[in-house]
Structures are given as structure tokens and as C-alpha cells.
């Protein structure tokens, strides 16, 4: 497969294309496997253009539609087409950003809905049955296979990670392994007492026998029957054959054990963020598929109990929390002007552009005033100074009310949230006078309950990026953070929400700021307005489960 991909890539003698491949490796830090995958998809389109006599810099939607039709006629599945469109969006974005091309013709192309495939996994009872049966084997390689199976289930490692473990990476005393996952990212993963015993049994005996010549020790923990390092295909063969040798009735592969590990953690109440760290997922959205796995099991039980049921039920309450300024409405310019005027007249301080994300946006007033004056203020002093500053701000707002409006699509989005039974709240560093003014101006109490509006009432001792405000919002709303979405715009607010361990943080931003926040590990997705919400995020927020 890889060889065929590289053959296709080698046919493209194009400077922009070669530069793009180099960019993926050197700038984006993608692995060779990912680079080849992107390269194959883009190369396929460039070869298609060549056959049509078209130049890559002069294409329109008609050419793109013809290409997609060609893919369908060649019976490519939806997932492949979706991946190819994604690669081409990335390619043309690169051409636009770095190579001087005009626009991205793939930007508005809609991908086909991806076929959802839930990961296959074994129940805890099935896992126990499999491991117990394999333990009874008496053949030559049984101890190695048992160590592999115990470790895969106990730590949820990828196949590539299992074969890459070196003996020096294992700390038996602390029962943890240093693992290098995708993108060569390092993490530390724990393992169980049972796995520890199985690995030590294998290492002390069978591994030495397999190695034969210790001077040629490759250093890797798991070896094949010839004393050499295992390959991924070799690991797949071992796991598959282990099931056959011990008489286990199901077909098993390494990734199934990884899925079983994650599902067992979730079913026993583990936080999704913890599972994300253990699995080495870069995005929480990848980990969230296990919530669907658990639901599938619940639904199976429900169907067995209510075979004639035809109602719609919601097994997981959803929660959405909004930041206020800059997320629900854009008034950042007025905050900038009012803080600048106030700081200059009150403290003789000239606030620079770079100061706002570092010391103003998302911070509470006590923190901002302390930074401006270079001293601490009492609560009473903070209250008086805040009231004085807010007069600057409100005068600007009142003089420009016609240009104050909710973000595009927000009203419709709030209507849907309320109609769907999603619990909503607000978490803002603003104080009550500002909050009341906006609640009245935008009639926000039409959607929000006052008790679910969290603001700086003087008891929030730590401002964003500390998670205190979102922790309080979660507590006030009785929200389950595993099923909570936060909309934020400020960098400090994004970090605050992420620190509260909510399921996902969606950032509102455009232009250069969108590029900046999209690189943050804390951000799940970026939208320009509420009309641009992704299908994936909509599916999660409005997830009403049908019988």
C-alpha cells in the first residue's frame, strides 16, 4: 500500500506539491505515514487534473464536482472521499497561505457524511475468559503471548507502541511504561500487577531463550520466535493465533484489546480526559467515540427490556456554557477603548495591544487593577474603581447601541438548545452592572435562568485562565463535565474551560486569531459564528438518543 502510494506521489513533478510534502514533515511535524497519506490523496487529484488538461491554480467548483463524481463512479467509500477532500482543503490552504495562490476552491466543499463505525471490543467477562484460557497454554511461546495480551488490555497501547517498547522503558517498581506514540509524543502509562507478573515471567525466562545470543539483543521487550524485533503484522498474527490456540471463540486483534481497555475505564466512571491521556489521543473528539460504545451497550439492554418502545429518550443530559463578551456578542473594541481611557486617566498607564490578551481579556477586575497600579486593592476599592471604569464602557455602548448585536446564528442556536432540553449557562469575568445591562439589552433571560449566570461577584478569587469560574458554573448547573461544551473566545478563557476538564471547548474566532487558537491543544474546534457549527459538534450537543 505504501509502495503504491509513493509510486503515485513520484509521478507528480510539481514544485508546489513537493514543497507541501516538505511542509507537512518539517513544519507540521507529521509522521512519514501521514505525509504519504496526504501526498497520495493530493497526487490523485493532480493526476486527474492532468488528464483533463487543467491547471491546479485555475479550478472551479464544476471541476471539483466532476472529480468527486469520478470518485463515486469508481466506488470509493465515503470515508475515503471525506479524507481526500480534507487533504485537498489542507493543500489549497497551504497554496493560499504560503505560495501566493488566490483563495481555496475546496473551502466550501461539503464532505459526505462519514460512515460511523463503532470500535469492536470485548466485554470484561470475555476478556477474563480469553486471558484465563490463554494462561493454560503449554506451548513454547505461551508466556510471551500472555505478557502481550495482559499488557495490551492493562494499558491500552497501540500495536506500534507495543512492538516499540524497550526493556529500559519499563519501571516495574512503579508499574509504568514510557511510551512513544503518534508523532513520537512521549507519555507514561501504568500497568497492572497481573501484567507485571506476566512480563517479568516472560523477560526472565522465555525472552532469554528466544534471544540466544545476548550480544545481538535489539533491546526491544517483545521478540519473535527468531529473537528479532516484532513487526505490527507479527503482533496481529500473535494475538489472532492466541485466540485460536486457547480455543477462544472470537476473532481478536490488538486494537480490540485497546478498545476494550478504554471501554472498561469509561464504564467504571473514568473521566474522558483521563482516558484521552492514557490512550495518547491528541483530540478529545477521538476519545469521545467510546461514549457511543457505552451507549450502544445501554441501548441493547433497553431494546431487550422495551421491545415495543417507540419513544425518544435522552440517556445523557447535555450542558452548554457560554462566555459572555466576545462570544455571544462582539464588544471587544469598546472594552479596549474604555480600559485604555480609564487606565490613562486614572493611573497614567498606556495599555499596549499585546497587553490585552496577557493582562485584560478573561481576567477579573481585581487582577487587572492590580496589574495597572502595581499594587493590591481591597474589595471595596476594587468595587469603586470597577464602577468608575464601567461608566467609560457603558457610555461607549449607549452611544453605539445600533451596532451591538448577538453573534450571527446565536438566537437560533439558543432556541434549539432550549427546545432540545440542553441546560445552558453563562460564565463571565464581567461584574453585575455589565451583566445586567447586557441581559436587558439582548433580552437574554428569554433563554437563560438567572441562577445559571456566573459572574464576578467578588468571591471569584482567581480569574481566567484558572478554572475556578467554570468549576463554579459546573457545580451551579449540576453539570456532568463529560457532557459539557464551552464556547469561549479569549485565550485565557479557553485555558480556563479546558482546566475544568469539560468535554470540549469551541473557540469563536476569525482571521489570524482563528489560526492562532486552532493550534491550541485545549481547543476542540473553531467557528466564526454559530451558523458555522460543525456537524460533529452539533451531533454531540443535540444528542437525543432514539430507541
Position 513 in a domain: yes
440, burial (CB in 10 Å: exposed 0-12, middle 13-18, buried 19+):
exposed
Indicate the residue among 359, 378, 402 that finishes a domain: 402
pLDDT score of 114 more than 80: no
Q: Is residue 324 domain-resident?
A: yes
* Helix, strand or coil, per DSSP, at residue 191: coil
Cβ neighbours of residue 438 closer than 8 Å, sequence gap 6 or more: 324, 329, 430, 444
Mean pLDDT of 26-35: 85
Active site residue 253: no
| Active-site annotation holder among 196, 281, 334, 501 | 281
One domain, residues 347 and 274: no
Do 490 and 470 lie in a common domain?
A: yes
Whether residue 60 lies inside any domain: the answer is yes
Q: What is the CATH number of the domain that holds 347?
A: 1.10.150.240
Is pLDDT of 375 > 60? yes
In this prediction, residues 145-173 reach a mean pLDDT of: 93
User: Does the annotation count 258 as an active-site position?
Assistant: yes
**pLDDT score recorded for residue 310:** 38
CA angle centred on 503, ends 498 and 506, rounded to 5°: 65
Catalytic one of 8, 56, 158, 423: 158
Cβ contacts of 60 within 8 Å, gap of 6 or more = 105
Q: What is the pLDDT of residue 488?
A: 95
Poorest-confidence range of 104-108, 121-125, 308-312, 335-339? 308-312
Is 240 in the same domain as 347? no
Residues 324 and 263 in one domain: no
Q: Tell me the average pLDDT across 12-17.
A: 90
Q: What is the pLDDT of residue 445?
A: 92
Domain containing 476 equals 319-328+404-541
Q: Which of 368, 395, 407 is nearest to 489 (CA)?
A: 407
Question: What is the Cα–Cα distance from 329 to 312, expressed in whole angstroms?
Answer: 34
Report pLDDT for 294: 55
Question: Does residue 159 belong to any structural domain of this protein?
Answer: yes
Name the grid cell of 63: 471541476
Please give the pLDDT value at position 352: 86
Contact yes or no for 64/106 (Cβ under 8 A): yes
448 and 481 both lie in a single domain: yes
Q: Say if residue 193 is in the same domain as residue 83.
A: no
Query: Mean pLDDT, to the nearest integer, of 218-232?
Result: 91
Active site residue 281: yes
* Same domain for 342 and 275: no
Q: What residue spans of 399-524 are helical by DSSP H? A: 410-420, 432-442, 468-477, 491-499, 511-518
Task: Please report, to the nearest 10 degrees, the dihedral formed by the alpha carbons of residues 246, 247, 248, 252 taken in order.
Answer: 70
What percentage of the chain reaches a pLDDT higher than 70? 88
What are 376-412's pLDDT values in tens digits? 888 888 888 888 877 777 777 666 655 567 888 999 9
At residue 403, the pLDDT reads: 57
Q: How confident is the model at residue 293 (pLDDT cuts 50, 70, 90)?
A: low
Q: Which of 137, 178, 182, 245 is catalytic?
A: 182
CATH of the domain at 158: 1.10.443.10
Rounded mean pLDDT, 3-26: 81
pLDDT of 472 above 90:
yes
pLDDT of residue 546: 31
Residues 537, 416 share a domain: yes
**Inter-helix orientation angle 289-305/272-279, to 10°:** 120
Asked whether residue 414 falls in the same domain as residue 507, the answer is: yes
- Of 386, 402, 418, the residue at which a domain comes to its end is 402
> In this structure, what CATH number is given to the domain that contains residue 472?
3.40.50.1000
For residues 428 and 355, state if they share a domain: no
Which pLDDT belongs to residue 420? 84
182 is catalytic: yes
Question: Measuring CA to CA, which residue among 155, 151, 152, 133 is closest to residue 142?
Answer: 133
Q: Which helix (H) or strand (E) holds 527?
A: strand 525-527
Check whether 206 has a pLDDT greater than 70: yes
How large is the average pLDDT for residues 347-370?
Answer: 81
pLDDT bracket for residue 363 (50, 70, 90) = confident
Find all residues with CB under 8 Å of 472, minimum gap 6, and list them: 427, 454, 460
The per-residue pLDDT for 313 is 35
Least confident of 38-42, 263-267, 312-316, 422-426: 312-316
Tell me, yes or no, if 481 is annotated catalytic: no
Cis peptide before 539 (omega within 30 of 0): no
For the question of residue 255 being annotated catalytic, the response is yes
Q: Is the confidence at residue 237, as pLDDT, over 80? A: yes
Q: pLDDT tens digits for 441-467?
A: 888 999 999 999 999 887 888 888 889
Model confidence over 493-514: pLDDT tens digits? 999 999 999 989 999 998 888 8
Q: Which of 35, 64, 98 is the last residue of a domain?
A: 98
Q: Is residue 523 part of a domain?
A: yes
Please spell the DSSP secondary structure of 288-355, one letter per residue.
THHHHHHHHHHHHHHHHH-TT---B--SS--EEEE-SBTTTB--HHHHHHHHHHHHHHHH-----TTH
More confident site: 282 or 215: 282
Tell me which of 92, 290, 319, 392 is the catalytic residue. 290
CA dist., res. 288 & res. 270, Å (int): 12
pLDDT value, residue 302: 45
**pLDDT for position 362:** 62
Q: Could you tell me if 537 and 423 lie in one domain?
A: yes
Over range 74-98, report the average pLDDT.
Answer: 87
Catalytic residue chosen out of the listed positions 255, 273, 346, 545? 255
Q: Higher-confidence residue: 363 or 195?
A: 195
* Cell of residue 116, nine digits: 460511523
Q: What is the CATH number of the domain that holds 30?
A: 1.10.150.130
With 60 as the cut, is the pLDDT of residue 481 above it?
Answer: yes
pLDDT value, residue 117: 61
Q: Which residue has the higher pLDDT, 299 or 412?
A: 412
Per-residue pLDDT, averaged over 409-430, amounts to: 91
Minimal CA–CA distance to 486: which of 325, 322, 371?
A: 322
Number of domains in the chain: 4
Asked if residue 428 belongs to a domain, the reply is yes
One domain for residues 272 and 357 = no
Within a domain: residue 533? yes
Residue 512 lies in a domain: yes
Confidence at residue 264, expressed as pLDDT on a 0 to 100 scale = 86
| Residue among 196, 207, 258, 504 flagged as catalytic | 258
CA nearest neighbour of 89 among 21, 44, 38, 35? 38
pLDDT of the residue at 118: 59
What is the pLDDT confidence band of residue 297, given thresholds at 50, 70 and 90? low
Amino acid at each position: 500500500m505504501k509502495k503504491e502510494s509513493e509510486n503515485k506521489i513520484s509521478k507528480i513533478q510539481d514544485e508546489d506539491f513537493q514543497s507541501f510534502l516538505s511542509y507537512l514533515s518539517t513544519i507540521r511535524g507529521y509522521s512519514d505515514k501521514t505525509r504519504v497519506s496526504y501526498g497520495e490523496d493530493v497526487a490523485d487529484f493532480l493526476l486527474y487534473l492532468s488528464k483533463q488538461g487543467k491547471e491546479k491554480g485555475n479550478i472551479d467548483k464544476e471541476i471539483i464536482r466532476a472529480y468527486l463524481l469520478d470518485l463515486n463512479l469508481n466506488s470509493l467509500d465515503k470515508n475515503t472521499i471525506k479524507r481526500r477532500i480534507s487533504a485537498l482543503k489542507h493543500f489549497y490552504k497551504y497554496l493560499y497561505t504560503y505560495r501566493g495562490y488566490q483563495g481555496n476552491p475546496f473551502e466550501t466543499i461539503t464532505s459526505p457524511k462519514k460512515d460511523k463505525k463503532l470500535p469492536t471490543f470485548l466485554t470484561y467477562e470475555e476478556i477474563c475468559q480469553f486471558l484465563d484460557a490463554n494462561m493454560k497454554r503449554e506451548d513454547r511461546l505461551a508466556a510471551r503471548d500472555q505478557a502481550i495480551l495482559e499488557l495490551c488490555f492493562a494499558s491500552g497501547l497501540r500495536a506500534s507502541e507495543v512492538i516499540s517498547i524497550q526493556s529500559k522503558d519499563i519501571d516495574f517498581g512503579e508499574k509504568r511504561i514510557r511510551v512513544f506514540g503518534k508523532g513520537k509524543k512521549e507519555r507514561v502509562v501504568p500497568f497492572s500487577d497481573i501484567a507485571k507478573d506476566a512480563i517479568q515471567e516472560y523477560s526472565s525466562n522465555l525472552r532469554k531463550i528466544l534471544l540466544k545470543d545476548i550480544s545481538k539483543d535489539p533491546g526491544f521487550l517483545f521478540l519473535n520466535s527468531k529473537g528479532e524485533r516484532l513487526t505490527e503484522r507479527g503482533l496481529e498474527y500473535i494475538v489472532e493465533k492466541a485466540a485460536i490456540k486457547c480455543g477462544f471463540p472470537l476473532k481478536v486483534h490488538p486494537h480490540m484489546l485497546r478498545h476494550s481497555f478504554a471501554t472498561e475505564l469509561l464504564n467504571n466512571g473514568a473521566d474522558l480526559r483521563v482516558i484521552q491521556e492514557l490512550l495518547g489521543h491528541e483530540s478529545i473528539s477521538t476519545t469521545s467515540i467510546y461514549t457511543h460504545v457505552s451507549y450502544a451497550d445501554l441501548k441493547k439492554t433497553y431494546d431487550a427490556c422495551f421491545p415495543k418502545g417507540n419513544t425518544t429518550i435522552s440517556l445523557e443530559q447535555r450542558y452548554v456554557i457560554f462566555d459572555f463578551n466576545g462570544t455571544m456578542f462582539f464588544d471587544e473594541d469598546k472594552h479596549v477603548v474604555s480600559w485604555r481611557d480609564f487606565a490613562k486617566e486614572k493611573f497614567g498607564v498606556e495599555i499596549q495591544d499585546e497587553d490585552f490578551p496577557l493582562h485584560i481579556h478573561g481576567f477579573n477586575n481585581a487582577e487587572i487593577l492590580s496589574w495597572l497600579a502595581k499594587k493590591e486593592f481591597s474589595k471595596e476599592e476594587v468595587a469603586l474603581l470597577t464602577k468608575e471604569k464601567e461608566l467609560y464602557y457603558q457610555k461607549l455602548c449607549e452611544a453605539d447601541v445600533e451596532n451591538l448585536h448577538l453573534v450571527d446564528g446565536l438566537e437560533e442556536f439558543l432556541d434549539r438548545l432550549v427546545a432540545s432540553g440542553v441546560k445552558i449557562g453563562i460564565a463571565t469575568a464581567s461584574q453585575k452592572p455589565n451583566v445586567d445591562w447586557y441581559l436587558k439589552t439582548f433580552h437574554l433571560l428569554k433563554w437563560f435562568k438567572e441562577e445559571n449566570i456566573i459572574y464576578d461577584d467578588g468571591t471569584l478569587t482567581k480569574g481566567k485562565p484558572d478554572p475556578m469560574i467554570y468549576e463554579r458554573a459546573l457545580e451551579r448547573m449540576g453539570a456532568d463535565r463529560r457532557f459539557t461544551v464551552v464556547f469561549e473566545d479569549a485565550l485565557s478563557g479557553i485555558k480556563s474551560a479546558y482546566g475544568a476538564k469539560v468535554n470540549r471547548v469551541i473557540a469563536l474566532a476569525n482571521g489570524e486569531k482563528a489560526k492562532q487558537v486552532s493550534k491550541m491543544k485545549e481547543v476542540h474546534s473553531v467557528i466564526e459564528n454559530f451558523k458555522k457549527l460543525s456537524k460533529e459538534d452539533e451531533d454531540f450537543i443535540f444528542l437525543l438518543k432514539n430507541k
